[in-house]
Chain A
Amino acid sequence: MTGLLGADFKKLFKSKSLYVCMFIAAALGVCMSLLYNYFWQERGQNIALWYAMMNQYGMKTDMLDEALSQIPSQNLLSYINVFLSDGAIWLIGAPCVCAYSSAEYNAGTYKNTVARGCSRIKLFLSKLAAAVSELLIISLVYLAAGTITALPHIELASTLQAGEIAFMAVIYFVLIIASACVFVMLSAIFRRSGFAVAAAIAAPMLIASLIQIASLASPELSQLSGYILMNTFVTVQKSVISGTGLNELLTGIAYIAVSSVAGGLIFAKREVR
């Protein structure tokens, strides 16, 4: 297994797609940080305008006060949450991880190792480990680029406790691993990077649309959209603050379990081309 892991990590760090995606992640992080700062500044001006207008017309500002109090302040943790939940990790990660995991199918190199008696499960798990590492690297690059760019504009202090921050970090970590597992499973199903990327990007949107349509008939079904993996990134901070972060954590763990097992079984049973 160590030989397989060493080889897969070597292939990962020799692949051009990793460095291209890291560059894109860094560039996007910088851009998004500037954009978020601009919107935050503009929001501040808009809030001032809203208050002025409400006062002019003698309206009460209680509801506005309450709504505004729910919005986190412009601090480091808020920015990190925004970066992790804006979907960029999914959009950059899907092509990168799918390209890496599908490369062996494209090149046909699995037949060399499988024909030599290598365990298919070990081959799959080794690839999974490397793919998870790849997505973690890309996520960290995106996060680092964005937060470093934002540092001149934000306060470092947060209203959250250290335990809550740690819990949030764990949840995000699990969700990123779950995302990588889904991408590798899709690569095992489609065995072509293009199809796997398309499925990874289109599937959450398609499922969300289907849930919305279904909820027209049965409104309680709308809650299911909270279990779409891409959506769980958005609700992490709010859930942790409200004490329900366990839902997101369990959702991530479930995705890891199901996609790893499904992907492993598919890889083990299908013919190797």
Chain B
Amino acid sequence: MEYILKTEGLTKIYSKVRVVDDVSICIRPGEIYGFVGKNGAGKTTFIRMVLGLASCSGGVISCFDGIPLGKARKRIGSLVESPAFYPNMTARENIRIFCRMIGEDPAQADEILEKVGLADTGKKKAGNFSLGMKQRLGIGIALAGDPEFLILDEPVNGLDPTGIAEIRKLILELKNEHGKTIFISSHLISELEKIATRYGIIARGRLVEEISAQELDEKCRNKTSIKTDAPEKSADIIKKLLSTESVEISDDGMLFVGEKINNIGEVTNELFRNGITVNSISSTASTVEAYFIEKMEG
């Protein structure tokens, strides 16, 4: 299969305001796609359009290599905004009744409860659950029918650190052992960083950037920036001295060495020996969080 979800120019306009503006993404099988954005950036509206809960003002949605959306959505499990369930029923009854409604076998309820850590809730009504338990129930409902693709909107909201770790473990297990593709929108960049294989950053309704986890890691790695009076010659010397190809020259002539240089003195001496004047030298490092914040603010 080429893609699980593809959107082209997806747009949503409410009262002349473009809350989602021309968003095009492509999620491939087996990915964990982290969708990152500030409050009000358009993440949930995007998800609602993909799931058919809201109409699209423009653009195209296709799933599973273009099969009809009605059929495609039967293969998508979701948790959108807050978890929705019947408060006067137990967790087991909620999952069983949902299975019945979507034409799936209600017998899988026990296995699902085990997976999300609600197997011991017994006869407790879901309306009396804690916030974390309700969140787990919402994830459990999303897992009903063993969908291939999961869309989770803030799945760890309200969970304690243990709960967050358990859900993270569950998500990784679903991906690695069951081959599921997962789309997660979250504010918790530190959590996404541990599991996502690719990211989409959305700000003010627009997709600012799509980046793989590997690319993100390279961009945030420790770097050294050097300003000289002969950037190209300096780049050649540094590449040879440090045995690295990771040297870039920016438009304003600043050199960026894609790693931290431990022996700055050796580098400056070598440059001086070749008649190059070093104007400035500094070491920079960016965290993933800072990177995202910069993109989201931009």
Residues of A within 8 A of B (CB): 3-4, 6-7, 10-11, 14-16, 103, 107-119, 271-273
Contact = CB atoms under 8 A, between A and B. Distances in A.
B72 interface: yes
A118 B86 contact: no
A107 B126 CA distance: 12
A109 B100 contact: no
Contacts of A110: 84
Nearest to A108: B84
A14 B90 CA distance: 11
A3 B100 contact: yes
B33 interface: no
A156 B80 CA distance: 59
B86 A107 contact: yes
Could you say which of A10, A109, A119 has the most chain B C-beta atoms within 10 Å of its C-beta? A109
Nearest to A106: B87
Contact of B102 (A6, A107, A116, A272): A116
Contact of B101 (A14, A16, A111, A113): A113
B101 A3 contact: yes
A109 B86 contact: yes
B87 A116 contact: no
B74 interface: yes
Contacts of A11: 86, 97
6 contacts: A10-B97, A10-B100, A108-B84, A109-B84, A112-B98, A116-B76
A115 B51 contact: yes
A225 B253 CA distance: 86
A7 B101 contact: yes
B51 to A, nearest CB: 4
Contacts of B54: 271-272
Question: For the side of the interface on B, what is the size category?
Answer: 20 to 34
Contacts of B93: 14
Contacts of A272: 53-54
A197 to B, nearest CB: 19
Contacts, number: 79
B102 A113 contact: yes
A122 to B, nearest CB: 10
Contacts of B74: 116-117
Given A15-B88, A109-B85, A115-B73, A271 B102 contact: no
B141 interface: yes
B101 A4 contact: yes
Nearest to B48: A271
B286 interface: no
A6 B52 CA distance: 24
A14 B81 CA distance: 26
A117 B73 contact: yes
B122 interface: no
B71 interface: yes
A115 B97 contact: no
Nearest to A126: B101
A51 to B, nearest CB: 59
Contacts of B89: 14
B76 to A, nearest CB: 7
B274 interface: no
A190 B72 CA distance: 30
A273 B101 CA distance: 18
Contacts of A14: 86, 88-89, 93
A10 B141 CA distance: 18
B82 interface: yes
Nearest to B87: A107
Given A271-B55, A272-B53, A118 B84 contact: no
Contacts of B70: 117, 119
Interface string B177-220: 00000000000000000000000000000000000000000000
Given A7-B97, A115-B78, 6 more contacts: A107-B85, A112-B141, A113-B102, A116-B73, A117-B70, A271-B54
B87 A111 contact: no
B37 interface: no
Contacts of B69: 117
Could you say which of A4, A107, A111, A273 has the most chain B C-beta atoms within 10 Å of its C-beta? A111
Contacts of B82: 108
B62 to A, nearest CB: 15
A110 B73 CA distance: 14
Nearest to B127: A107
A110 B81 CA distance: 13
A111 B53 CA distance: 7
Given A16-B88, A108-B84, A271 B97 contact: no
Contacts of B87: 107
Could you say which of A10, A110, A114, A117 has the most chain B C-beta atoms within 10 Å of its C-beta? A117
A207 B101 CA distance: 39
Contacts of A111: 51, 53, 80, 84
B103 interface: yes
